[in-house]
């Protein structure tokens, strides 16, 4: 295995777009608006942005450094850096997170497939107000057979691409389709802003009201920044392992983080003005965009065409993220256990599909079954990974690189830099001190509050 030359990205732009493809997905367009809505709006957005800068960017750089330095999957990377110590657990936890996240991610990815069908058949064009759109969404998610089938199709699509390997699969798709998504979101923003009452939505999204924030929302903001940037579980370590020596890590990381953040903010601007203009409660949970977007398009010229296009692009964005989740699991099995790519993908694709079924059912037959303190299976998996496994993973990635392995051995991985304030040194300081302390503080405060309750 290891004698074989490791596959690399075909081009620099290809890598940035593929990594951006991993980052940009349902996290930006589906999840960011709904958790923002649940956590009171602009103040949450602000904390999210702070977390992106002080945690997201430095940890993104750290993961890329680890990946290129070791040229390994997450488990192999920690083995190579820190030998047979307990640190390998971070790698294993990452692989497990990939497993867990893809299982429920694929359910929402499946919804986008269902909505492509609903747009083509003209169903979404009849959903002229959020009330009917909501009813239609409920009917849609209560069709158990269909949601499980769509979930299956989403995993199958990931499997199909990941079997073909990184260059022909992942890279090719990302390059073509990401820019198109950008354009259609702009259409949505323009349309949303032109509605009566849209301004309330803009205020909700951009005018902070800190009374709506508590330690729980801070933790959600932090979790969302890890989730949206694909951090904390080694997805970016894995992508970094396919980087060539010529690629510039600092610059690439900055591009990826900016692209991801811009898309999330644009999604918020596309959703909230319409939410308020159409009288929907922003605190509507995972169904939020499925309640509002069909209604926006239904009231627009060529709305059916736009709706079809929108859900197709959302599906593609979800797919480029889904494959990065699957790739982590597959990279681990092929690198460490020597399985063939095909066998690894088929077997683990199946297991992840099965694990996702209870998440698909959490919107219908298992809706009221709580798995853990008031959360149904879907919410539990989501919170467990986003708010706990990823930040904890990120914390230990920072500690492992900054303190245990030592930055001196890896600083040469970063772009030469001649600025007055060295970006490299700024990063070194942040990854050693700022990022880990922040994660720790958020956990400590949350813990104290839970005890206080």
Q: Under rule CB under 6 A, which residues in 372-391 are in contact with ligand TRP?
A: 390
Number of Cβ atoms within 10 Å of the Cβ of 443: 18
Number of Cβ atoms within 10 Å of the Cβ of 6: 12
Which string of DSSP letters, residue by residue, matches 43-65? Answer: HHHHHHHHHIIIIIHHHHHHHHH
* Cβ closest to ligand TRP, residue 220 vs residue 228: 228
By the 8 A CB rule, do 74 and 234 touch? Answer: yes
Q: With binding defined as CB under 6 A, does residue 227 bind ligand TRP?
A: yes
Can you read off the two tokens belonging to residue 151? 């979930």
Q: Least distance (Å) from ligand TRP to the CB of residue 338?
A: 24
How far is residue 181's CA from residue 312's CA, in Å, rounded to a whole number? 9
DSSP assignment, residue 123?
A: T
Q: With binding defined as CB under 6 A, does residue 103 bind ligand TRP?
A: no
Helix extents (H) in 245-302: 249-277, 288-298
Q: Please give the sequence-ordered ranges of beta strands (E in DSSP) within 184-250, or none if there are none.
A: none
* Cβ closest to ligand TRP, residue 14 vs residue 25: 25
* Cβ closest to ligand TRP, residue 228 vs residue 308: 228
Instruction: Tally the residues of the chain.
Output: 453
By the 8 A CB rule, do 192 and 201 touch? Answer: yes
Region near ligand TRP per CB under 6 A, out of 20-28, 59-67, 113-121, 194-202: 20-28
Q: With binding defined as CB under 6 A, does residue 25 bind ligand TRP?
A: yes
Q: With binding defined as CB under 6 A, does residue 324 bind ligand TRP?
A: yes
Q: Binding-site residue total for ligand TRP (CB under 6 A)?
A: 16
Q: Least distance (Å) from ligand TRP to the CB of residue 216?
A: 20
Residue of closest CB approach to ligand TRP: 27
Can you read off the two tokens belonging to residue 191? 């349309």
How far is residue 227's CA from residue 82's CA, in Å, rounded to a whole number? 26
Q: Least distance (Å) from ligand TRP to the CB of residue 154?
A: 13
Q: With binding defined as CB under 6 A, does residue 36 bind ligand TRP?
A: no
Q: With binding defined as CB under 6 A, does residue 331 bind ligand TRP?
A: no
- Rg of the chain over Cα atoms, rounded to whole angstroms, equals 21
Closest by Cα among 21, 302, 48 to 158:
21
Tell me the per-residue interface mask from 185 to 224 with ligand TRP, x by CB under 6 A, - otherwise: ----------------------------------------
Q: With binding defined as CB under 6 A, does residue 295 bind ligand TRP?
A: no
Closest by Cα among 294, 320, 317 to 115:
294
> Which residue in the set 228, 308, 359, 435 belongs to the binding site for ligand TRP (CB under 6 A)?
228
Q: Under rule CB under 6 A, which residues in 38-97 are in contact with ligand TRP?
A: none
Where on the chain is the footprint of ligand TRP (CB under 6 A)? 22-23, 25-28, 101, 227-228, 230, 233, 235, 321, 324-325, 390
């Amino acid at each position: 295995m290891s004698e074989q030359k490791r596959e690399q990205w075909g081009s620099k732009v290809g890598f940035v777009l593929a990594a951006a493809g991993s980052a940009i997905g349902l996290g930006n367009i589906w999840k960011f608006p709904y958790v923002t809505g649940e956590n009171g709006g602009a103040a949450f957005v602000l904390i999210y942005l702070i977390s992106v800068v002080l945690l997201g960017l430095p940890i993104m750089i750290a993961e890329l450094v680890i990946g290129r330095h070791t040229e390994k999957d997450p488990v192999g990377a920690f083995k190579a850096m820190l030998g047979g110590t307990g640190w390998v657990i971070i790698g294993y936890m990452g692989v497990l997170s990939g497993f867990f996240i893809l299982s429920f991610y694929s359910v929402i990815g499946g919804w986008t497939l269902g909505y492509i069908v609903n747009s083509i058949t003209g169903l979404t064009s009849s959903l002229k107000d959020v009330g009917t759109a909501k009813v239609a969404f409920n009917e849609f998610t209560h069709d158990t057979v269909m949601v499980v089938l769509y979930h299956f199709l989403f995993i199958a699509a990931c499997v199909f691409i990941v079997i073909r390997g990184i260059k022909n699969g992942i890279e090719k798709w990302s390059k073509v389709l990401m820019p198109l998504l950008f354009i259609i979101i702009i259409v949505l923003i323009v349309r949303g802003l032109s509605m009566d009452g849209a301004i309330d939505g803009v205020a909700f999204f951009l005018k902070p009201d800190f009374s709506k924030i508590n330690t729980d929302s801070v933790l959600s903001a932090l979790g969302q920044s890890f989730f949206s940037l694909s951090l904390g579980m080694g997805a970016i370590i894995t992508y970094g392992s396919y980087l060539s020596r010529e690629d510039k890590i600092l610059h690439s990381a900055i591009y990826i983080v900016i692209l991801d953040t811009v898309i999330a903010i644009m999604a918020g601007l596309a959703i909230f003005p319409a939410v308020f203009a159409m009288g929907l409660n922003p605190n509507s949970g995972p169904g939020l965009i499925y309640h509002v977007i069909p209604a926006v398009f239904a009231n627009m010229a060529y709305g059916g065409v736009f709706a079809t296009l929108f859900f197709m692009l959302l599906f593609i964005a979800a797919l480029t993220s889904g494959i990065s989740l699957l790739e982590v699991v597959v990279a681990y099995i092929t690198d460490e256990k020597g399985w063939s790519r095909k066998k690894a993908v088929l077997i683990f694709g199946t297991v992840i599909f099965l694990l996702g079924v209870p998440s698909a059912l959490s919107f219908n037959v298992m809706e009221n079954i709580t798995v853990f303190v008031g959360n149904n299976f879907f919410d539990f998996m989501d919170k467990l990974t986003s708010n706990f496994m990823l930040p904890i993973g990120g914390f230990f990635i920072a500690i492992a690189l900054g303190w245990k392995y030592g930055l001196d051995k890896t600083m040469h991985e970063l772009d030469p830099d001649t600025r007055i304030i060295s970006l490299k040194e700024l990063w070194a300081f942040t990854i050693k001190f700022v990022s880990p302390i922040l994660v720790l503080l958020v956990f400590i405060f949350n813990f104290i509050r839970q005890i206080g309750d």
